[in-house]
Structure 1
């Protein structure tokens, strides 16, 4: 019997719950003193598939000057429009829940929700998220792009563990079913 793959949110947030400023800047995040890569490589090794919303994908493509950062992973970008697949990415514009449940039923490593907030809200509403790993920066930015959008949903969590990476604190939660 094969083990079901987990859908995991691994993301950094400000102490007041924002993933970026209103102008999509992450400068506040990079000004915090971390430790190594703050657990990123360790987490990345547990992942086989990467899920990205189209707005986040477009941001990555504007800001990554080298090569696509998830080149060695199976990568899906969710969009409402029809976009042709690339060498690195397959674009998905169908039924999100059935697509994710199909991915989760396959054997393999974890599935990572890279972002963004709109896609995450859909996953939460559809009860598709299995784990949340938040890395909290000791920064309050006042406003910006929220990690969790306002909506009609509730997610009950169980704390699996905490770690710190110098000034960052990682909170690891399992989603209760």
Structure 2
């Protein structure tokens, strides 16, 4: 199973045009992860795009204990401190899923705007957990850009986390 877990603005952006996520600050309780650790517990590995990886590298500490696979044609090596935790892959999404599944990584967290879009186009996303933040950005990086044709998901449940965050659970409906 391939999962998306992401936050979007009311107008459908996952980040500012420069990749900034400052709009998410002060909307949540820093003591509450709103179910993220439970989500991470059920996945085997993360698959993220290069831009997302570069954003995560700016964090004070590496936030993941699960293996991370970065999709990139330009990154050749990872920082020494992440060797054994991060591997760089490239190729077609179906081949990547097949390769990771053959290594017993069956539940994959797909992250990063372009990466999510590539996997959606190939019908490789089974479930999406999308938290909508009550902020209108006006411009930014859209979650669903360049997708042609219908990809139908059914909403399994909705959870109001606080006055600013609403989490939607979607499952692929074929």
Under a length normalisation based on structure 2, what TM-score does the superposition of the two structures give? 0.87
- Structure 1 distance, partners of 2:12, 2:66, is 28
| Residue 7 of structure 1 pairs with residue 2 of structure 2 | yes
2:12 corresponds to which of 7, 10, 17: 17
Which residue of structure 1 aligns with residue 91 of structure 2?
Answer: 94
1:36 corresponds to which of 28, 32, 42: 32
Where do 5+ consecutive residues of structure 1 fail to align?
Answer: 1-5
Which residue of structure 2 aligns with residue 69 of structure 1?
Answer: 63
CA RMSD of aligned residues (A): 1.9
| Residue 126 of structure 1 pairs with residue 155 of structure 2 | no
C-alpha distance 23-84 of structure 1, shift in aligned 2 (>3 A): closer
The SS at the match of 1:47 is: coil
The alpha carbon displacement at 1:113 in A equals 1.1
- Structure 2 distance, partners of 1:98, 1:38, is 33
The alpha carbon displacement at 1:42 in A equals 1.6
The alpha carbon displacement at 1:160 in A equals 1.1
* Deviation readout 1:4-51 (Å, 9 max, x if unpaired): xx1000001111101111122111111213581122112111112101
Which residue of structure 1 aligns with residue 100 of structure 2?
Answer: 103
Aligned length: 168
- Structure 2 distance, partners of 1:147, 1:125, is 13
Which residue of structure 2 aligns with residue 154 of structure 1?
Answer: 150
The question of whether the paired residues in 2 share the 8 Å contact of 1:46 and 1:109 is answered with no
1:174 corresponds to which of 156, 160, 171: 171
The question of whether the paired residues in 2 share the 8 Å contact of 1:48 and 1:108 is answered with yes
The alpha carbon displacement at 1:155 in A equals 1.0
The SS at the match of 2:88 is: strand
The question of whether the paired residues in 2 share the 8 Å contact of 1:7 and 1:131 is answered with yes
Where do 5+ consecutive residues of structure 2 fail to align?
Answer: none
Under a length normalisation based on structure 1, what TM-score does the superposition of the two structures give? 0.86
* Deviation readout 1:43-81 (Å, 9 max, x if unpaired): 1111121011011101111x2122x211x2121000123
